[in-house]
Structure 1
Amino acid sequence: MGKLQIELLGASFSAQASEDDAYLAKLLSYYKEITESIKNSSGVKDPLKISILSGIALVDELYKEKQKSIFLSKSVPTEDDEKAERIAQSIIEKISGALE
């Protein structure tokens, strides 16, 4: 279980999670980058608003990655897809042959 000391946007607290310390530190570092970017680009000064906008930015990023993953999984046939297609084609040919 990892521990993380968070000091961000005027708040300071500790958190624990089931991930290791190094991973949690990477997450916090990335979140700090997002909050700094939001703060610098938007001119928003309220920490709560910055936090909410940062959360929305991260959800947007996650959503786009999920959509990309779904698209790629549908557009690139896997080995199982190709095998299923070959089996289906073989069955169709056998049925066609039996009907002739």
Structure 2
Amino acid sequence: MSSLNADEWNARYPVGTRVVAYPFVRPEDPVAVAYRERAATGTLPPAWGSDPCRTLDTVTRSPAWALGDGTPVVQVKGESGGIALHHIDPVPADAEARPAA
């Protein structure tokens, strides 16, 4: 989870950096934890729909920038709009190569 601002991110991670992105919530978010617990026990209400913790193994497709409220975001392949940097995990360069989404 990144605590970098847009300029710090851009200095470390060029466009095309491999990342894991969580467009809605991170796996440790209480909403995601509750969803998985309910799904595992068969008590998931139908209204809850699909898992809110969608994970993308992808690459960045823009430099990071700050929204009007100051939240730093970046665009990734496979998702429209920007995703907050605290929902982006850079993949270490020495990690096992997998195709990006």
TM-score range, shorter chain: under 0.3
TM-score after normalising by structure 1:
0.20
Structure with more relative contact order (C-alpha pairs < 8 Å, separation 6 or more): 2
Which of the two has higher C-alpha Rg?
1
Which structure: greater helix fraction? Answer: 1
